[in-house]
Amino acid sequence: MSSRVTFAYCTFPSEDSAKSICEQLVFEETIACANIHGPVHSLYKWQGQLQKSAEWVAILKTSELKRATLMERIRAIHPYDNPCLVFLAIEDGLPQFLNWVYTQSL
């Protein structure tokens, strides 16, 4: 069964920025909800240099209809120059929960 719901994975430089942005996205009805986890230890190369940093991860739950809006909003309000935002396909789940996510983010 395909879903009309998608989850997005997004990282943030601080707990405060994750909370603030996720609250704004819920208020705007761009996402139904977010789960914020952290800190996580991130290792990556940026501008040729190895970076080690603490980040916070948010799993953002939204409708497929809001995918483009979510990308635009993250580009506009995220503090990173190149924010991590990837979408995870939801193949199936409890129908009542998927319906709730869908209707909260229309």
Each of the 106 residues of the chain gets a pLDDT tens digit; together they read: 457 999 999 999 999 999 999 999 999 999 999 999 999 999 999 899 999 999 999 999 999 999 999 999 999 999 999 999 999 999 999 999 999 999 999 8
CA dihedral 16, 56, 5, 26 (to 10 degrees): 0
The count of other CB atoms within 10 Å of the CB of residue 75 is 12
| Domain boundaries along the sequence of the chain | 5-104
pTM of model > 0.85: yes
Please provide residue 74's backbone torsions phi and psi, each rounded to the nearest 5 degrees: -65, -45
pLDDT at res. 64: 95
Q: Which CATH number fits domain 5-104: 3.30.70.120, 3.40.50.720, 3.30.70.20, 3.30.10.20?
A: 3.30.70.120
- DSSP structure string for 12-72: ESSHHHHHHHHHHHHHTTS-SEEEEEEEEEEEEEETTEEEEEEEEEEEEEEEGGGHHHHHH
